[in-house]
Structure 1
Amino acid sequence: MPPLHIGLFGAGGIARAHLPGWLALGARVSMYTVDGSAEKLASEYAGRGHDVRSVDSPDALLAEADAVDVCTPTPTHKDLVLAAVAAG
């Protein structure tokens, strides 16, 4: 069975707490942030040999993820979750 592919929205404190857990479970992780900070965090973990990368749009993240982890400010959760549900 292929590894679970997680789409992680956010790269702040909560994302930094969730990301190691997903990796410990053997998941692949794609990350997206509005401000581009996902690129730095993904690069940090990829440099340590983990299967983590950043993507350049929410649609790209949703197109490839099996599940999403929303680690953004609370007021943004509803729209991101609705987009994930719509993407299947």
Structure 2
Amino acid sequence: MSHQAFLIRPHGGRTEKGRTMPIIRVEMFAGRSREQKAALAKRMTEAFLDTCGRPGQGPDGVWVLIEEMPPENWAVGGELGGSQ
């Protein structure tokens, strides 16, 4: 299966001071390097701040959580990714 699917879900979270901050969850196939995941987290943070950030909000207030799964745990159109 050639799908390189990922899902982004912004959630409201709370900091220690009780302020709301975004949590961006990414679910994708396993196999990316640490460098690729770091670049993804950086660009997701920048994109969030550019489009939804509050004035003066810094990147330390944006959380990106990456969860990797093997293809056999994904089904698209009723077909498991690892079944081919």
Answer yes or no: same fold by TM over 0.5: no
TM-score bracket relative to the smaller structure: 0.3 to 0.5
Larger relative CO (CA 8 A, sep 6+): 1 or 2?
Answer: 1
The normalised TM-score by structure 2 is 0.32
The normalised TM-score by structure 1 is 0.31
Larger radius of gyration: 2
Name the structure where strand makes up a greater proportion of residues: 2
